[in-house]
Amino acid sequence: MRRDQLTVPSKEVVRDQDSIFGNRDSNIATLAATYDGNDIGFSPLNSQWRAMRQIFVREVLSNNSLQASSDLRKDEVRKAVRDVFNNVGKPFDFGELSFRTELNVIMNMMWGGVVEEEEGQRVGEEFREVVIKIVNLMGKPNVADYLPALAWLDIQGKDVGRNQERRKEGLPSSHVRATRERRSRDVNQPEANQGPIGAGTDTTATTIEWAMAELLNNPKAMENIQNELSKVVGLNNEVEEFHIPKLKYLEAVVKETMRLHPAIPLLLPRSPTQTSTVGGYTVPKKSMVFINLPWIQKDPSIWDSPLEFKPERFLHDTKKCPFNGNNFNYLPFGSGRRICAGMPLAEKMVMYLLASLLHSFEWKLPDGKTVDMSYTFASVLRKITPLLVIATPRLSEPNLYG
């Protein structure tokens, strides 16, 4: 039997009929990658999902938990600044630096372990490679998803399983020890808590890389951010998290980046528990339903010059397009009960790491290079060509670089 796939109006799915469309539609590769859907992002809408999400939010993402972990984030951001300072004048992969920093932040918050400096680049690169392979496989069509009788031929699912094992092998020993200590609690088994590492690290780092790519293509916007940072933070100070709410132009740049380059362009697929009507059309039970963010967030009837990078569109009313999914024309984190659980941390880290790097350094491309804005339209909207950049110090005192 052929599976139905639909792209539908967002509000009717994520708000008006959220309870009906709350389940995930997981293909075979996704089930292999998430241990049969035992994951916060892909678990069915049931009591186990609620327990996993509640514990994850309470222990990692509540206001108290985020405040308690602020020093961890500061340490990793400072380490990133120091790494860049040690490579001043040399081209380096900006996306890899962002990924490694995010990986350390999430691992430290969840298990208290990081990728140490001497192995950081190797592990970060290997882990990133595996995560990208898994995400790409999850987004590829699989004949068995549409013709279940051929499921026994599923090579894709096996490939994902092998990459999952490589991902676990690539994690530092501190992760393994912490996981073993917690295995007696079902919701903390590795299959339940590895999702935030791969998904949260990849999407957040990808957003930061897109933001830098846009700024390098738009020098005036780069100048505006750095002027704002000079005024709010000062060239004799380092960026702190308490500076972030005052950085309105930076917030506008991040929002515009997420509008043009949503990390998960079709969000995660949903599946109705019953036949429903959306936009005047009948949506059969168990259909695969997508929310098309690029179409919504570049709709010319809503957005002025929708294909242009114009952060100023968010300056006049910063509350008009919040990240919380209440504006159905702007949904970078989704909306409703399946909104991204990691949104509070992602918002903090995108702003904090980007602000720190832009404040600490001047940025340019290697001689003769331009920014390649081509991308892969898959589960994650990722640049095809790595962003190679060169940094030069911007702050007044060398000791500010650690």
Q: What is the pLDDT along the chain (402 residues), one digit of tens a residue?
A: 445 666 666 789 998 999 999 998 766 666 666 667 677 888 888 898 899 888 888 888 899 999 999 999 999 999 999 999 999 999 999 999 999 999 888 888 876 666 565 555 566 667 677 777 766 666 666 655 555 555 545 555 555 455 555 545 555 444 444 444 444 344 444 444 455 566 678 899 999 999 999 999 999 999 999 999 999 999 999 999 999 999 999 999 999 999 999 999 999 889 999 999 998 889 999 888 889 999 999 999 999 999 999 999 999 776 678 999 999 999 999 999 999 989 999 999 999 999 999 999 999 999 999 999 999 877 889 999 999 999 999 998 999 997
Q: Which of 302, 132, 129, 307 is nearest to 214 (CA)?
A: 307
Is the distance from CB of 217 to CB of 381 less than 8 angstroms? no
Is the distance from CB of 39 to CB of 48 less than 8 angstroms? no
Domains annotated on the chain, with CATH: 5-401 (1.10.630.10)
Collect all residues with Cβ–Cβ distance below 8 Å to 337 and sequence separation of at least 6: 18, 19, 22, 45
Q: What is the DSSP letter of 400?
A: G
Q: Quick count: other Cβ atoms within 10 Å of Cβ 112?
A: 12
Count CA within 13 A, CB hemisphere, residue 46. 9
Q: What is the DSSP letter of 325?
A: S
Q: What is the pLDDT of residue 6?
A: 62
- Whole-angstrom distance, CA of residue 331 vs CA of residue 9: 12
Pairs from 51-56 (Cβ < 8 Å, separation ≥ 24): 51/187, 52/187, 52/192, 53/341, 55/187, 55/188, 56/193, 56/196, 56/341
Q: Which two tokens stand for residue 268?
A: 């995660």
- Whole-angstrom distance, CA of residue 317 vs CA of residue 328: 16
Q: What is the DSSP letter of 364?
A: E
Say whether 11 sits in a helix, a strand or coil.
helix
**Pairing relation of β-strands 361-364 and 375-377?**
unpaired
Is the distance from CB of 353 to CB of 98 less than 8 angstroms? yes
Helices (H), ranges, 298-363: 343-360
Q: Quick count: other Cβ atoms within 10 Å of Cβ 311?
A: 23
- Tell me whether residue 321 is annotated as binding: no
Is the distance from CB of 251 to CB of 229 less than 8 angstroms? no
Cβ burial of 282 (10 Å; 0-12, 13-18, 19+) is: exposed
Q: What does the chain come to in residues?
A: 402
Helices (H), ranges, 291-395: 293-297, 343-360
Is the distance from CB of 160 to CB of 138 less than 8 angstroms? yes
- Whole-angstrom distance, CA of residue 199 vs CA of residue 180: 22
Q: What is the pLDDT of residue 31?
A: 66
This prediction has a pTM of 0.84
Q: What is the pLDDT of residue 42?
A: 81
Q: What is the pLDDT of residue 119?
A: 57
Q: What is the pLDDT of residue 121?
A: 59
Q: What is the pLDDT of residue 184?
A: 39
Q: What is the pLDDT of residue 41?
A: 80
Is the distance from CB of 216 to CB of 222 less than 8 angstroms? yes
